[in-house]
Amino acid sequence: MKNKCFGICYNPEISGALEAGLSIKNKLSDYRIEAQVFNIDELSAGFDFVFVIGGDGTILKAARFYAKNKTPIFGVNLGRLGFLSQASGDMLDEAVSKIVLKDFVIEDRVMLQTGSSIALNDIVIKGSSTGRTSRFSLKINDKSVCDYLADGIIVATPTGSTAYGLSAGGPVLTPGLKAFVIVPICPHTLTARPLVVPDSEKITVCTSEKDKKYVISADGQEFCEASRIIEIVKSPYSAKLALLNNSDFYTILRDKLHWGESPAFCA
């Protein structure tokens, strides 16, 4: 890794992020590795590997950018949940050492695309009128599947299945599954349930409500308006997440989401 070009991206809105970035740079210098430190609003290409310091939102933004350059990223969590990160602020030295010594793996994570927007977690479609439900028709490979009267629809990747989709009642998908999950948001139909489909399918969401605008969000960060027909497919890009060799998805579920823990009982 000594001849590689390293980037260190940090979120200036998170306390201690810049200091953590400088700490990583100093640690890399111990291995005679040069690195450039920059904030999340100054993303640039040309790196072989990028440390991303912040919360999940910071990692999502960096992942969308660096997926187009096939650049691996490594998340350092200084936010709240940090589900996409691999290290916290108190284990920077250990993490940097493992990266330099190549004690890590790179996972390709499938991404979604609609128009020019790509997403690592999810694409969400909602009506532009706050507080009102909308009518959606779902098609898979141009074949009608069902109609929803709901607040919106989430189309999530396995990576994003633990985010908004999970909060809306969707299932958890392991990252390696070649699938997407479609979750209606607060549907007004008791039989409306989440649907898991292969990631090779074309998902189309359309509406018969004339002149009504819909808001599409990619990872809850990039927004645009659309009407009538929205097509969502597997992106040609994939996010390359660097994971430490001791990383385990089910351990992360248990530690970060307290998955399957019994409730505490009072004596």
Q: Cite the active site residues.
A: 56
Beta carbons of 161 and 119 less than 8 angstroms apart: no
The Cα 10–Cα 6 span in angstroms is 13
Which 3 state secondary structure label does DSSP give 250? helix
Beta carbons of 204 and 142 less than 8 angstroms apart: yes
Amino acid at 261: E
Name the nearest CA neighbour of 162 among 147, 177, 151, 150. Answer: 177
Beta carbons of 228 and 207 less than 8 angstroms apart: yes
* Helix residue spans in 55-209 (DSSP H): 56-67, 92-100, 164-167
